[in-house]
Amino acid sequence: MADIERTSTAVWRGDLRGGEGTISSASGTLDGVPYNAAMRFEQAPGTNPEELIAAAHAACYNMAFAAVLAENGHAPEELQTRAVCHLTPQRGGYRITRMRLETRARVPGLDQVTLQRLAEEGEKGCPVSNALRGGIEIELSVSLA
């Protein structure tokens, strides 16, 4: 089976504080989306790399968790995951240190203990979690909606 490739491009012009850039994806979903230091470090409106990593992680985890639930006979009605990416200042710059996944699951007939076990199984099978694992701490909390 051949690898599946996904492509995005980022362009940056200028230095870190005064520069600006754009992000585009081959699918066209992102098309010249602006980003800059104020968006990343000062809460200015717009996106940033950590927000995009968090979005990718939340989406990927939901899909992996949905697959595990279905494989175990529990089709989810809805999974809502909030991913919080922690960018921590360190000497010489910043480092992504932790990702927190907070999931509310609407799954008929499922108890909290089983939900937690299957949620952890889903996280272990999530490709984005596996790409990040070892480099950052991944926290998972899941509750029934």
Identify the CA nearest to 114 among candidates 77, 80, 143: 143
pLDDT at residue 61, as a whole number: 98
Which residues belong to CATH 3.30.300.20 in the chain? 49-144
- Give tens-digit pLDDT for 76-102: 999 999 999 999 999 999 999 999 999
Largest CA distance in the chain: 55
Q: The domain 49-144: what is its CATH number? A: 3.30.300.20
Helices (H) and strands (E) in the chain — how many of each? 4, 6
Instruction: State if pTM tops 0.85.
Output: yes
pLDDT at residue 100, as a whole number: 98
- Give tens-digit pLDDT for 97-135: 999 999 999 999 999 999 999 999 999 999 999 999 999
What is the C-alpha to C-alpha distance for residues 87 and 22, in angstroms, rounded to an integer? 21
DSSP state, residue 87: E
Q: What stretch of H or E contains 122?
A: helix 112-125
Give the whole-number percent of the chain exceeding pLDDT 90. 99
DSSP state, residue 27: T
